[in-house]
Amino acid sequence: MSSSYLVLPVLIPLLAGALSLLFWRSHTAQRWLGVMATGALLWTAVLLLLLTWREGIQVVEIGNWPAPFGIVLVSDLLGAIMVVLTGITGFATALYSLTSIPKQHEKYGYYPLLHLLLAGVCGAFLTGDIFNLYVWFEVMLVASFALIILGGERAQMEGAIKYVTLNLFSSALFLSAIGLLYGLVGSLNMADVADKLSQLSGEERGLVSVISLLFLVAFGIKAAAFPLFFWLPASYHTPQVAVSAIFAGLLTKVGVYVLFRFYTLIFIDDTDLTHTILLWMGILTMLVGVLGAAAQFEFRRILSFHIVSQIGYMILGLAIFTPLALVGGVFYIMHHIIVKANLFLVSGLVYRLRGSYQLKDLGGLYRSHPWLALLFLIPALSLAGLPPLSGFFAKFVIIRAGIEAEQWLAVAVALLVGFLTLYSMIKIWNEVFWKAVPEGASCTPRIYHPQSEKLGMYYLPIIGLATMTVLIGIAAQPIYELAEAAAAQLLDPRLYIDAVLGERP
Amino acid sequence: MNGKSPTKMESSLILRAAGHFLLPLLVLFSLFLLLRGHNEPGGGFIAGLVAASAFALYTFSMGLKSARKTLRADPRDLMGAGLTLALLSGVPAMLQGQPFLTALWWPLTLPLLGEVKLSTVLAFDIGVYLVVIGSVLTIVLNLAEAEENAEWKS
């Protein structure tokens, strides 16, 4: 039965989406189905992680077609960790959606799309086949295209056009790179490709570098890395907050995950080229993101620019490419997804209370809602990297790895960006929570379900995620060990290849 | 609504006559493609497209209201049912301890038809068939509706 743990994280959201379509007349059924399905997803994801932790890399050959020919689902520690994070974000979002999603959105299929998105994300984390990865990317993108324009406001359309155009461009690059790769090695199973690329002769290496750079650009766009990141801050602040939160937590991280997978498993021969480019990408992404945020005065836009900046740290972890740096990268992903989703959820609650995202219209929330202020402060300070919260350890490990690898520029930029992040978070704190309510500011709460409106369902996921942030900080040691084990698996591609293709003499 | 369908296309006699006869023929053809897809070119996806195009043609010739009536089920329900069926077709293999979506076969001998092979693959194909019909018709019928509403207003 161990094989079913690998399939369930994909199967549960897909089935939940299908059932939501069948129950599309009853919004109540869809809401609770959403909570139950994401809860079940989280549960199976945790079981999968435990199984992978205890027994090593898990593989399922879908439909019983043997490995290099059929599609395999593979769960190594990194993949399993990502699925658990998907479960956490999905569950928090489903709870948050209970009261924060307007009826009109539910009517146009919010829940089926949400489940489809989660299925696409989980599929991308678990698949061991490059073309299948492309398909899951498309599943995810189709669902996200629909979610981002749900509601059909002008700003949403404007953001969605940039989002769709760049993502389609990236998909086209991805597909051409797949075509070239298939032409070169005649296989798309990741383990098989990695195995065959390591045996190529000298003159074909040039083509491998070209293909690896094509993949780098394609995934760089998906991960919102410099220079093609601007679709993200242009679009993430436009949809409903629950949608923003799940996008912020998960979608770009799929791009980061794939970068981690490809540049530790498949393209590892020419690290002088690829990982130097990754290093510069990481540095510039950090810097540009945080500078962009400094110029913004809208709650969610600031947070969106910070996603970009934080992506830089993760890519930096991959680019330095020492064991410690990879540990830092994996740790950073774990910390970041929880913190970032939570910050968006807080911004949604502020909007619910005050009816605005503009910093100039907000104020006085510390006086009226001190607990909310505290709940904002936990993820905000964690994002900036203050001890003892999760972000401190994430940044600490990466910066330490940078010092050990003598990448002084990267270290300097990482430290500087940490300070600027703190500046941004303090800016939000001052404007939204600390200063008095500005005169003449309109203060109209947004209530979508007047009969059953309770703030409990807003607070519950925020409190849960904030608790996790604190716990990752306090119990950093076990999480660090998990990240260390995941990084150790990433650094030994043989483990992955043998798990999928079987031991070879 | 006074029962009068406002489509302009209704005036074409040839289209109306053809739509009337082509619908059952095309649906039958789609079923043929669906079953044939087992061993030869065909299958759930292409069969679903043929069936959906049959209903699209019917919508253009007979109007939206009678198309919805002929279809009976709401396209969204078809989508949901089809997706559920396709996913569940992979589960029996899991219950037997084999990987998800492994094909299982149950050959049956029926009195008139000879040997019939029932399989989870067939259930998957029927699921795909329903999903394709459902999603294409959701789009087509919604567009037709928007068009009609626009004509009503003008």
- Chain A residue with minimal CA distance to B127? A18
Separation between Cα atoms, residue A146 and residue A489, nearest integer Å: 36
Whether B139 and chain A come into contact, CB under 8 Å, resolves to no
Average pLDDT of the segment spanning B1-19: 63
**Cα(first)–Cα(last) distance of chain B, in Å?**
15
Separation between Cα atoms, residue A297 and residue A244, nearest integer Å: 17
> How close A1 gets to chain B, by Cα (Å)?
6
Q: Answer whether the bond into residue A388 is a cis peptide, omega within 30°.
A: yes
Residues 3-32 of A with CB under 8 A from B: 3-4, 7, 11, 14-15, 17-24
Judge residue B99's burial from the number of C-beta atoms within 10 Å of its C-beta, 0-12 exposed, 13-18 middle, 19 or more buried: buried
Chain A residues whose beta carbon lies within 8 Å of the beta carbon of residue B77: 21-22, 24
Give the up-direction half-sphere exposure of residue A312: CA atoms within 13 A in the CB hemisphere. Answer: 31
Residue A426 parent element (H or E): helix A408-428
Verify whether the Cβ–Cβ distance B80 to A21 is below 8 Å: yes
Whether B102 and chain A come into contact, CB under 8 Å, resolves to yes
- The total of other beta-carbon atoms located within 10 Å of residue B152's CB is 9
Q: Tokens for B87? A: 């996913």
Q: Where are the domains of chain B?
A: 10-153
Residue at A17: amino acid letter: G
- Chain B residue with minimal CA distance to A18? B80
pLDDT band at B2 (very low <50, low <70, confident <90, very high): very low
Residues 18-37 of B with CB under 8 A from A: none
Chain B residues whose beta carbon lies within 8 Å of the beta carbon of residue A61: 99
Taking Cα atoms as reference points, which of A322, A332, A336, A340 lies closest to residue A394?
A: A332
Chain A residues whose beta carbon lies within 8 Å of the beta carbon of residue B123: none
Give the up-direction half-sphere exposure of residue A503: CA atoms within 13 A in the CB hemisphere. Answer: 1
Q: Tokens for A108? A: 């146009």
Please, are residues A181 and A188 in contact by the beta-carbon 8 Å criterion? yes
Of these ranges, A4-8, A30-34, B9-13, B93-97, the one predicted with the greatest mean pLDDT is A30-34
Distances A401 to A62, A256, B152 between C-alpha atoms, Å:
39, 19, 68
Verify whether the Cβ–Cβ distance B100 to A14 is below 8 Å: no
Residue B98 parent element (H or E): none
Give the up-direction half-sphere exposure of residue A333: CA atoms within 13 A in the CB hemisphere. Answer: 35
The answer on pLDDT for B86 being more than 60 is yes
Measure CB to CB from residue A18 to each of B84, B100, B101 and give the nearest one: B84
Distances A38 to A43, A86, A241 between C-alpha atoms, Å:
9, 9, 18
Residues 412-431 of A with CB under 8 A from B: none
Whether B75 and chain A come into contact, CB under 8 Å, resolves to no
- The total of other beta-carbon atoms located within 10 Å of residue A243's CB is 27
Measure CB to CB from residue A63 to each of B81, B84, B103 and give the nearest one: B103
Whether A63 and chain B come into contact, CB under 8 Å, resolves to yes
Provide DSSP, A284-335: HHHHHHHHHHHT--BHHHHHHHHHHHHHHHHHHHHHH-SHHHHHHHHHHHHH
The answer on pLDDT for B1 being more than 50 is no
Please, are residues A101 and A110 in contact by the beta-carbon 8 Å criterion? yes
Residue with tokens 């897809």: B37
DSSP letter at A358 equals B
Separation between Cα atoms, residue A502 and residue A496, nearest integer Å: 10
Chain A residues whose beta carbon lies within 8 Å of the beta carbon of residue B90: 7, 11
Predicted local confidence at residue A415, as pLDDT: 94
Predicted local confidence at residue B4, as pLDDT: 47
Whether A176 and chain B come into contact, CB under 8 Å, resolves to no
Please, are residues A486 and A330 in contact by the beta-carbon 8 Å criterion? yes
Separation between Cα atoms, residue B84 and residue A358, nearest integer Å: 43
Verify whether the Cβ–Cβ distance A4 to B81 is below 8 Å: no
Chain B residues whose beta carbon lies within 8 Å of the beta carbon of residue A20: 80
Q: Tokens for A126? A: 């678990």
- Chain A residue with minimal CA distance to B83? A18
- Chain A residue with minimal CA distance to B134? A21
- Chain B residue with minimal CA distance to A109? B76
Predicted local confidence at residue A302, as pLDDT: 94
Query: What is the count of residue pairs from A and B with beta carbons less than 8 Å apart?
Result: 57
Measure CB to CB from residue B87 to each of A11, A63, A64 and give the nearest one: A11
Question: B115: helix, coil or strand?
Answer: strand
Whether B142 and chain A come into contact, CB under 8 Å, resolves to no
Measure CB to CB from residue B94 to each of A7, A19, A20 and give the nearest one: A7
Question: A411: helix, coil or strand?
Answer: helix
Q: What is the mean pLDDT of each run of 10 residues along chain A (505 residues)?
A: 81 94 89 95 96 92 86 94 96 92 87 95 95 95 92 86 93 95 92 89 83 94 90 90 93 94 90 90 94 91 94 94 94 95 94 86 87 93 90 93 93 94 93 83 65 77 94 91 94 92 67
Taking Cα atoms as reference points, which of A129, A124, A128, A111 lies closest to residue A28?
A: A111
Chain A residues whose beta carbon lies within 8 Å of the beta carbon of residue B102: 63-64
Question: B4: helix, coil or strand?
Answer: coil
B100: phi then psi, degrees, rounded to nearest 5: -50, 140
Question: B83: helix, coil or strand?
Answer: helix
Separation between Cα atoms, residue A235 and residue A258, nearest integer Å: 22
Whether B81 and chain A come into contact, CB under 8 Å, resolves to yes
- Give the 3-state secondary structure percentages of chain B, helix then strand then coil, rounded to 5: 70, 10, 25
Average pLDDT of the segment spanning B22-36: 92
> What ipTM was estimated for this complex?
0.83
> How close A46 gets to chain B, by Cα (Å)?
20
Q: Tokens for B98? A: 């084999």
> How close B57 gets to chain A, by Cα (Å)?
25
Give the up-direction half-sphere exposure of residue A346: CA atoms within 13 A in the CB hemisphere. Answer: 30
- Chain A residue with minimal CA distance to B78? A22
Chain A residues whose beta carbon lies within 8 Å of the beta carbon of residue B88: 15
Residue with tokens 């993108």: A141
What sign for the dihedral angle of Cα A314, A187, A129, A165?
A: positive
Would you give the distance in Å from CA A159 to the centre of its chain?
Answer: 19
